[in-house]
Structure 1
């Protein structure tokens, strides 16, 4: 079942029209949240990021869009899909209502909630082959819009097609200064010795929730040093480890970039700490 503005519809029922602004202009935002046994991982962070993003895009935030209201609607949708006691991937999409061309006729919004069952209740490390390559056909802009989770993801789509055509598991995206920014579907971390490095938001990377939580974990650790600085492509092959983070997978180690094969020792250490944070809900 799909939840559209509080009403539940079968997945195969058409509920959007050709005038939908998310379809026509990419005038939409989304949050992807992991839910396990009724607990939404890092829900407050997702909620406040969504509210901030709506303000930046000048969307009208409905009075009922409280933290509690959206959480309840998400859980109701999960329950309708028999996932209340399971691990679930949730996608909450917010789009400006129909009308207008580039300039909208209204800033009022609608929402859709979708759910899908996951295999594991906690973040686990995938130790299989995961080779990546740089995608340099097009670039990420260094601005605030790039840090938002909007549906304007054509760069990510084209990079995904490139990865499929060339047998890569993922691609790393670069910005207009030719610095490495992120992966197609998550933030990038580079490990060298006890230093864990990730690009700053000013470079154009997504303001990821798990990125934020993992940075907090690393900063609180006496074992590692966190560095938030631009990453040059030349650094990748000198690293001990590379890994990607997002809200559904948690931490995905990169096994190979060009001729360099990487370990995943630090990723394994950090995933346990990330799971602990998720269970605490903070």
Structure 2
């Protein structure tokens, strides 16, 4: 069952048509959520990112789109799919409905839909025995700026980059912007560790305003022995790093074990996962 504007319907009756603006023009936003035992991880951060993104997209935010309303709709959908006492991956999609060409019709109304699927791991963990190889994706480049960082339905680079990674036996690829700075992975934010210095690209470079990125920066800021910087990362820095890791809400932290001829450890990432899980347990 999926949730379409508050109504629970069968997937075969989703009510999404070929005229939907999210389908026609990518005029839609989404949040990917992890829900464990009825608890939405980092829900407040997801909610405020969605509201900020809707404002950037000049969507008229409905009056009923409160944090409490959308949380209730998410949990209602989780429950009807028998996942309330389990771990689930949830996608909350918001679009501008139907009507108009590039310019939306004045009568368009904001729709939302929610879909769920089971997910195995309730908390975050790192299997140090698993290899994870990446390379740069250089066929196309992202534009610097906050628009590139929106969680929108326009994910062409991520789609064709994922196909490229599969064709070349990589687990993931790192994306460059038009300034040739490394901004993120195909499915998450990038962190670089060199000694006591931690770097992650700034939002202005075009990377996703990741919810897990925010959690990492919060945890890292509490360690007085670390120097944390949001700054551009050049491809030349990657092979000089001690560790590289990717973050997203579903998997938490994914250490990169190999980039070209360089191999990396994961000790720092392992310590971060422990702190992240400890933070989550306090909020449950």
Q: TM-score, normalised by structure 1?
A: 0.97
Separation in 2 of the partners of 1:24 and 1:39? Answer: 34
Number of the residue aligned with 1:20: 20
Number of the residue aligned with 1:276: 278
Cα-to-partner distance string for 1:161-217 (whole Å, 9 max, x where unaligned): 100110000000000110000000000000111211100001110000000110010
Is the 8 Å Cα contact of residues 189 and 242 (structure 1) preserved in structure 2?
A: yes
Separation in 2 of the partners of 1:224 and 1:79? Answer: 42
Number of the residue aligned with 1:86: 86
Gaps of 5+ in 1: none
Offset at residue 126 of structure 1 (A): 3.5
Separation in 2 of the partners of 1:267 and 1:245? Answer: 10
Number of the residue aligned with 2:103: 103
Separation in 1 of the partners of 2:85 and 2:225? Answer: 35
Offset at residue 60 of structure 1 (A): 1.0
Number of the residue aligned with 2:30: 30
RMSD: 1.2
Following superposition, which runs of at least 4 residues in structure 1 exceed 3 angstroms of deviation? 279-282
Separation in 2 of the partners of 1:148 and 1:23? Answer: 17
Number of the residue aligned with 1:241: 243
Counting matched residue pairs gives: 282
Number of the residue aligned with 2:113: 112
Separation in 2 of the partners of 1:57 and 1:281? Answer: 32
Number of the residue aligned with 1:60: 60
Q: TM-score, normalised by structure 2?
A: 0.97
Separation in 2 of the partners of 1:220 and 1:236? Answer: 25
Is the 8 Å Cα contact of residues 134 and 174 (structure 1) preserved in structure 2?
A: yes
Offset at residue 272 of structure 1 (A): 1.3
Number of the residue aligned with 1:200: 202
Gaps of 5+ in 2: none
